[in-house]
Amino acid sequence: MFQPAKSADVNKDAAKSTKRAASGAANSTDMVNNCRDTTNSLEGRKNGDSHEIHPDQIHPDLGEGGSEVRVEAVAKAHNDLLLQSSEWGTRLDAFEVAFEDLINRSRHNNIKIRGIPETRDEGPVQNLVLEIFRPLLPDIPEPRWEIDRAHSLSGGPRRNDERPRDIIVRFHYHSTKDAVVRKCRGTVVIYREKVLQIFQDLSPSPLLKRRQWKPIADHLRLNHIPFTWGHPFKLLAFHNEQTRALLPTGIQVDFFRQWAWIHQRE
């Protein structure tokens, strides 16, 4: 026959269940915290503060039976992954530099013209380009003015001539392109009473890097030190018959300190 449990026994069993639940919750919390700490360490590279870990840095209370071995395995796996990630990062940076250089070398003979109205009656764009630049450089012989192609950027004609599309011009001879760029740096080029802007045709990446290095370029201009941009991306400065190069991997303070342009701060 079924006998109902006594009240004291019920209370005792309930207390044991509550204690086990509380203990299980505490162990679960510890395990979650341990996993979170390990995950944060493994994700350190995302925040730029990746570093090797030692088995002692990982909580040892992950359970009984070979926990130390598992901890050492996790630490070794993390450190091996960190080393491999660093090596791949270095290779990826090298590939990025080579790819960027390849793109810009394919544009080596190009210039970009900004400001020519969309509505014009001069015929092919090549004829218009020659009409604009030939008077500026009369010493360049006729055969050296060969143009491979000239076209407006894609997107279709714009009705508003206040912001016309840029025109890309590819000269057959690099020397002609260089002469045009140098001449336009100190000359106001006007077409239909509008001032034109002449740029080198570069990919977005070096343009972004040049903007980031603008304080350096401004400092050189302030000290009347001539400089130029090189490929792959670097800055070349000329002073006292010496040339110094600043690379993306270089240290800017050391670059300036080579010629004592700035004083070393204590």
Question: What amino acid occupies position 241?
Answer: E
**What are the residue ranges spanned by the domains of the chain?**
26-85, 108-201, 205-257
DSSP secondary-structure letter at 137?
-
Asked if 108-201 and 205-257 have one fold, the answer is: no
Place of tokens 């002609």: 176
Task: Supply 42's token pair.
Answer: 């493994």
CATH architecture designation of domain 205-257: 2-Layer Sandwich (3.30)
Q: The tokens of 31 are what?
A: 């395990």
Residue by residue, pLDDT tens for the chain (266 residues) are 444 445 455 455 555 554 454 444 445 455 445 545 555 554 554 444 555 555 555 555 555 555 666 777 777 887 888 888 888 888 887 887 788 878 888 888 999 999 888 777 667 888 889 999 999 999 999 999 999 999 888 766 666 656 788 999 999 999 999 999 989 988 888 888 888 999 888 888 888 888 888 888 888 888 888 888 887 788 888 888 888 888 877 676 777 766 665 544 43
Distance separating alpha carbons of residues 46 and 11, to the nearest angstrom: 52
Q: In angstroms, what CA-CA distances link 82 with 33, 36, 53, 58, 68? A: 22, 18, 10, 16, 21
pTM for the full predicted model:
0.54
Contact yes or no for 171/147 (Cβ under 8 A): yes
Tell me which fold the domain 108-201 belongs to. Answer: Alpha-Beta Plaits (3.30.70)
4 burial level (CB within 10 Å; 0-12, 13-18, 19+): exposed
